[in-house]
Structure 1
């Protein structure tokens, strides 16, 4: 996406918050500097301090600009980090392997609906792209959640239940994530190598992954894999709820059943297509 094309969103005016002589850039220039500062982390999230450093702005100015950008849906706040918002996403949605993603979404959305009917909670369908998960579909529960996920959006694999599913069952995916830099989205995020490997071993053993407030402190989630006919994860289904009321064990059996049924369907579909 060409950030320069976004300049039309803002009306230029001289900054009233910067001391003359220190920075001759207008507010538009500074807003553009903040957007450009996201770089490759645009869909993942960057903290205020890091954005301030990259944009060569004071932290207070960066925070003020982020507030303005957030009010215009150009960026959104996820925990202590910021990422590109719905307005920018609408200008140029990413289409990496979009045909395959569309196929998986269309095939598995009926099972996502089954999961929703059984739980009445927020349910999600996701797949993996590199070190990040992409949410292919999402059905909101009766009690709407504050959540970092959105349809077509991305999150780092290591701090999500759906991401842990792929990491646990796909050694290549796990290696790609573990060897990359990770930052704590919340105090609960597992960033230590040993702890993360231990967590993934548990997921492999139990077949269920947990997000215990690791992407957002107020959100908890469980996920299970949808496997292809070779036994590799092609997608993951999840159930989410508020951390203080979500009882994962009450939904594990249903999640396993739906994911197993979805896996059997995918295996039959692949056999017919072969």
Structure 2
């Protein structure tokens, strides 16, 4: 009997995960049980039963006959990342706004999470371009400017990236460990990194670090835009000025916390 219960629990978990994944882009607006059942390849009665279980646990909520992801799932998601990320984002948002005002291009604030970058904030330029970045999203560090500039100051993370196998996202993604190591060594020397269509075809990006204690890169800021319109080199001075001011603000905040 004990074995049968375990098997049933596993089946229920599989079905629950399938339903959660099925929300897709409608996670906030909601979907009806019939559509969710179709996407998850479940019968309507099974989907209804599993959704009821998820609703009782706060993982989904039902509004006007539709289901959407619940508050508890959002709370769990926040615990995936480093707790300091919220504090860093709140402190650096004004500087990201300054960078946007200076460039009117799409700007990012990102931090390293293992071998990925997680985007803490993003402000869109007037002329948007397709990009893999989204707030709270993760992208492999090796194919982004923010990722490469953060790897330049984290040797352990860089070693893991170089040993992990480098996935190609476009024909220009660097997939040779030796080439990537050389590129990041140059970034460490200059303090600036570039993404030349390495994450998305047609997209250019330039990034610099926001420095913390002991020469560590706490976060990275970037400016991105389409090839043919964005001159990354022309945006470098503004990016460096804002990043330097952000680094100073981090140092002041750390001193205040240390004396509190």
Shorter-chain TM-score above 0.5: yes
Answer whether contact 2:166 2:177 (CA < 8 A) is retained: no
CA gap 1:88/1:273 in 2 versus in 1, 3 angstroms: same
Report the counterpart of residue 64 of structure 2 in structure 1. Answer: none
**Match for 2:189 among 205, 220, 240?**
205
Picking from 241, 245, 252, the partner of 1:257 is 241
SS in 2 for 1:184: coil
Normalised to the residue count of structure 1, the TM-score between the two structures is: 0.69
Deviation at 1:101, TM superposition (A): 1.2
Corresponding residue SS for 2:172: coil
Asked if 1:10 corresponds to 2:36, the answer is yes
Q: Kindly name which structure, 1 or 2, has the bigger radius of gyration based on alpha carbons.
A: 2
State the partner residue of 1:186: 170
Question: Displacement of 1:231 after TM fit?
Answer: 1.6
In structure 2, the gaps of 5 or more residues are: 1-12, 23-32, 43-67
Higher helix residue share:
2
Identify the match of residue 219 of structure 1 among 203, 206, 231. Answer: 203
Mark the CA change 1:89 to 1:116 in structure 2 (over 3 Å): closer, same or farther.
farther
Look up the SS of the partner of 1:169 in the other structure.
coil
Question: Which residue among 238, 242, 252 is the counterpart of 2:222?
Answer: 238
Contact 1:166 1:173 in 2 (8 A): no
Task: Map 1:1-274 to 2 at 5 A.
Answer: 2-6=16-20, 8=33, 9-12=35-38, 28=41, 92-93=73-74, 94-95=77-78, 96-97=80-81, 99-274=83-258
Q: How many residues align?
A: 204
Partner SS for 1:10? helix
Cα RMSD between the aligned structures? 2.2
Unaligned runs of 5+ in 1: 14-26, 30-86
Tell me the CA shift for residue 244 of structure 1: 2.4
Superposed CA deviations along residues 149-185 of structure 1, whole A, max 9, x for unmatched, are 0000010000000000111111111111111122110
Shift of residue 199, structure 1, vs aligned partner? 0.3
Alpha-carbon offset, residue 89 of structure 1? 11
